[in-house]
């Protein structure tokens, strides 16, 4: 993106850069209009036989339009290459040499129109990304020394208390410390439903507050917010060039000299063999004109822009739907993926502990088992304790907090419930306290065979039963897997540091082909290499620090829920802004659609070139027709690429 900053500046500087680019596009538009008016005035003067005035108007039109392609042509020649700008200058110079001033002015003016339309189209495609910059407000209300004061958002530092009124946007990444509200994060994450903001919930800069007032504690400065990092990453991604684009450029560099040589042959050779009434000079003028038309129509403009317009459109479409792709090269590799590997906790599952089994033994009731466990864990801060209490409340059970709560590190917890000792903990704890029974062992085996973690409950010296806890499968996981298979993915695997039995249960629930548990990070990397050798390019999707080596080792690393995962953001090639697995098949569909679009664009551009080259060599194409053909091809390629912006997630 030409107007983008270096990537290290803060968001406000990027806004200024975008404003300057908008101003430059405005100036370019009016220069194109002025050049067109002068050309029309020259044509009118020629009709009135005012030849000197006509030539003056044409020359002024050329002088306005030619500086930019001339500078680019000089840069190209200094690099010992011939590009479209060189071809344009050759065509203009040739038309002037043949005294076809109108043709010369039309060539360079139409070329300028085509370039302006292409730039405008790219700018529209980038608008969705650049609008990220304006999501966060410029000011924030901060409470300092007991006084609320409005300060520039750049002055908010981590730890500041930020006051957020209903309807306001969150100025910086922050955590809710007081108040409740519904907050819309869809501009950043693409989630259609607002989240429930309450103490402890993290919010992203740019989110829109609902009807409740909130007090937030800033966790990052503006320049370090997820919004700023996302903006910089996408700006950088749009500047990257995919390998397929480099191939097209290399083709154009060989193609252009070949066309120049062919044009020279068309201009010089036929006059020696084809006689005209004007003799050799007349024949040279005729074939020289045809050679110039050949040069113009053979310009590889549409061919060269076929890839970057497609890539920018695809990156923009992905960002709109909460998928951030770091560059065209990653987009191209994603389209070739035939094997997808999932992490388990936090990726295939939601990473939150849930009670999935309640199994009483020896005459106890399930409600009684859950009531005792919840009473004991009411004051616990452990995730397992919170999950037990949440399940009991969800079942509508009434319970009173136990007394004398005591945590047993690595084993469980104990307290007094209903005037009797209660224990919640591991099999090892129950074995040490001689609370195990044969029936309890059977239930433990049943729970663990299902892929859950067994938590045992006892009251008044007797075992009540077993609770099974696991992190719940994400909604839509199986549907996402089916969608990936429909897109040509031939192997889906699960690599997890969790126990092998848990990994196998999660894999079976999602419909994957294989699962491996108890893995260290380096073992995940080894499995990635094995899968690549057996099944082809591999995409790895994970969410945490332990996934970083595998994300880097895969052909495409995909970070899950990247809004809160700095390590994944830095390591991955693709980032899913939400914990929605349906974004994964969408990203793959978009990548494949982009490559199809590029191939279509190349075929379209080359097909038109071949047709008009034949017409030019046969003398059936004028310079005007040649320029219109080249402009038309460029516009068709651009319009075809912009269709990617309309690709939906489902």
Report the C-alpha gap between 392 and 372 in whole angstroms. Answer: 10
Six token digits for residue 395: 């079942």
Report the C-alpha gap between 456 and 414 in whole angstroms. Answer: 12
Q: What is the 8-class DSSP label of residue 497?
A: S
Q: In this structure, what are the phi and psi dihedrals at residue 559, rounded to the nearest 5 degrees? A: -95, 135
Report the C-alpha gap between 174 and 196 in whole angstroms. Answer: 14
Greatest Cα pair distance, the chain, in angstroms, is 121
Residues 6 or more apart whose Cβ sits within 8 Å of residue 49 = none
Q: What is the DSSP string of 579-625?
A: S-TTHHHHHHHHHHHHHHHHHHHHHHHHHHHHHHHHHHHTT---HHH
Report the C-alpha gap between 436 and 426 in whole angstroms. Answer: 11
Query: From the candidates 343, 498, 543, 573, which is the catalytic residue?
Result: 343
* Element counts in the chain: helices (H) and strands (E): 23, 22
Q: Closest Cα partner for 561 from 538, 590, 539, 584?
A: 584
Report the C-alpha gap between 560 and 587 in whole angstroms. Answer: 13
Report the C-alpha gap between 496 and 517 in whole angstroms. Answer: 5
| CA 438 to the chain's CA centroid | 54
Burial classification of residue 217, based on how many CB atoms lie within 10 Å of its CB (0-12 exposed, 13-18 middle, 19 or more buried):
middle
Report the C-alpha gap between 87 and 507 in whole angstroms. Answer: 58
Q: Closest Cα partner for 354 from 237, 475, 231, 249?
A: 475
Residue pair 494/512 in contact by the 8 Å Cβ criterion: yes
Q: Active-site residue 434, yes or no?
A: no
| Alpha-carbon distance values, 372 to 382, 430, 471 (Å) | 17, 16, 22
Strand 514-516 versus strand 538-542 pairing type: unpaired
Q: What is the 8-class DSSP label of residue 424?
A: E
Q: Closest Cα partner for 647 from 224, 323, 171?
A: 323
Residue pair 354/472 in contact by the 8 Å Cβ criterion: yes
Strand partners, 541: 342, 558
**Cα torsion angle, 335, 340, 346, 348, sign:** positive
How would you label 24-62 residue by residue, b for 16+ Cβ within 10 Å and e otherwise? eeeebeebbeebbebbebbbebbeeeeeeebbbbbbbbb
Q: In this structure, what are the phi and psi dihedrals at residue 561, rounded to the nearest 5 degrees? A: 60, 50
| Alpha-carbon distance values, 437 to 198, 420, 434, 457 (Å) | 43, 20, 9, 12
Which are the catalytic amino acids?
A: 343
């Amino acid at each position: 993106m030409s107007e983008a900053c270096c990537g290290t500046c803060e968001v406000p500087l990027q806004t200024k850069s975008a404003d300057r680019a908008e101003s430059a596009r405005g100036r370019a538009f009016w220069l194109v209009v002025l050049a067109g008016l002068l050309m029309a005035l020259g044509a009118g003067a020629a009709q009135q036989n005012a030849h000197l005035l006509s030539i003056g108007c044409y020359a002024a039109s050329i002088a306005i339009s030619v500086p930019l392609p001339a500078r680019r042509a000089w840069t190209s020649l200094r690099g010992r290459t011939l590009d479209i700008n060189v071809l344009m200058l050759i065509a203009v110079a040739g038309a002037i040499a043949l005294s076809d001033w109108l043709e010369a002015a039309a060539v360079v003016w139409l070329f300028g129109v085509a370039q302006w339309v292409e730039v405008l189209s790219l700018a529209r495609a980038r608008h969705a990304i650049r609008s990220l910059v304006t999501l966060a407000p410029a000011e924030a209300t901060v409470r300092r020394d007991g006084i609320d004061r409005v300060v520039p958002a750049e002055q908010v530092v981590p730890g500041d208390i930020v006051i957020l009124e209903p309807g306001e946007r969150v100025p910086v990444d922050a955590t809710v410390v007081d108040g409740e509200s519904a907050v819309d994060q869809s501009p950043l994450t693409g989630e259609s439903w607002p989240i429930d903001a309450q103490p402890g919930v993290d919010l992203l800069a740019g989110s829109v507050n609902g009807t409740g007032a909130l007090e937030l504690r800033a966790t990052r400065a503006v320049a370090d917010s997820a919004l700023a990092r996302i903006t910089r990453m996408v700006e950088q991604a749009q500047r990257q060039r995919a390998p397929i684009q480099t191939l097209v450029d290399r083709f154009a560099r060989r193609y252009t000299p070949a066309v120049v040589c062919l044009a020279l042959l068309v201009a010089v050779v036929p006059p020696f063999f084809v006689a005209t009434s004007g003799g050799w000079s007349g024949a040279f003028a005729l074939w020289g004109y045809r050679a110039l038309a050949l040069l113009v129509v053979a310009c590889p403009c549409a061919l060269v822009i076929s890839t970057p317009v497609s890539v920018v459109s695809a990156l923009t479409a992905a960002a709109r739907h909460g998928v951030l792709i770091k560059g065209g090269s990653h987009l191209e590799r994603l389209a070739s993926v035939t094997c997808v590997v999932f992490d388990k906790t936090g990726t295939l599952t939601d990473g939150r502990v849930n009670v999935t089994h309640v199994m009483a033994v020896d005459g106890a009731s399930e409600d009684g088992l859950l009531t005792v466990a919840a009473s004991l864990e009411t004051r616990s801060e452990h995730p397992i304790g919170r999950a037990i209490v949440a399940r009991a409340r969800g079942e509508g059970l009434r319970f009173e907090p136990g007394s004398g709560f005591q945590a047993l590190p690595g084993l469980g917890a104990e307290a007094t419930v209903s005037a009797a000792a209660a224990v919640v903990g591991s099999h090892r704890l129950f074995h040490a306290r001689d609370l195990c029974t044969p029936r309890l062992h059977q239930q433990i085996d049943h729970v663990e065979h299902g892929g859950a973690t067994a938590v045992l409950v006892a009251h008044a010296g007797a075992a009540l039963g077993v609770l099974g806890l696991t992190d719940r499968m994400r909604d839509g996981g199986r549907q996402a897997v089916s969608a990936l298979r429909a897109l040509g993915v031939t192997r889906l695997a699960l690599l997890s540091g969790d126990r092998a039995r848990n990994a196998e249960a999660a894999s079976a629930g999602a419909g994957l082909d294989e699962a491996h548990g108890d893995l260290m990070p380096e073992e995940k990397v080894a499995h990635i290499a094995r899968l690549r050798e057996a099944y082809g390019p591999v995409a790895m999707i994970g969410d945490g620090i332990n996934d970083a080596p595998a994300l880097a080792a895969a052909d495409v690393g995909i970070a899950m829920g990247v809004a809160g995962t700095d390590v994944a953001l830095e390591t991955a090639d693709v980032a899913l802004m939400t914990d929605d697995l349906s974004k994964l098949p969408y990203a793959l569909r978009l990548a494949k659609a982009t490559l199809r679009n590029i191939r279509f664009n190349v075929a379209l551009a080359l097909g038109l070139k071949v047709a008009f080259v034949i017409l030019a060599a046969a003398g059936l194409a004028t310079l005007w027709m040649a320029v219109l053909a080249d402009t038309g091809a460029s516009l068709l390629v651009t319009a075809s690429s912009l269709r990617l912006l309309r690709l939906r997630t489902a």
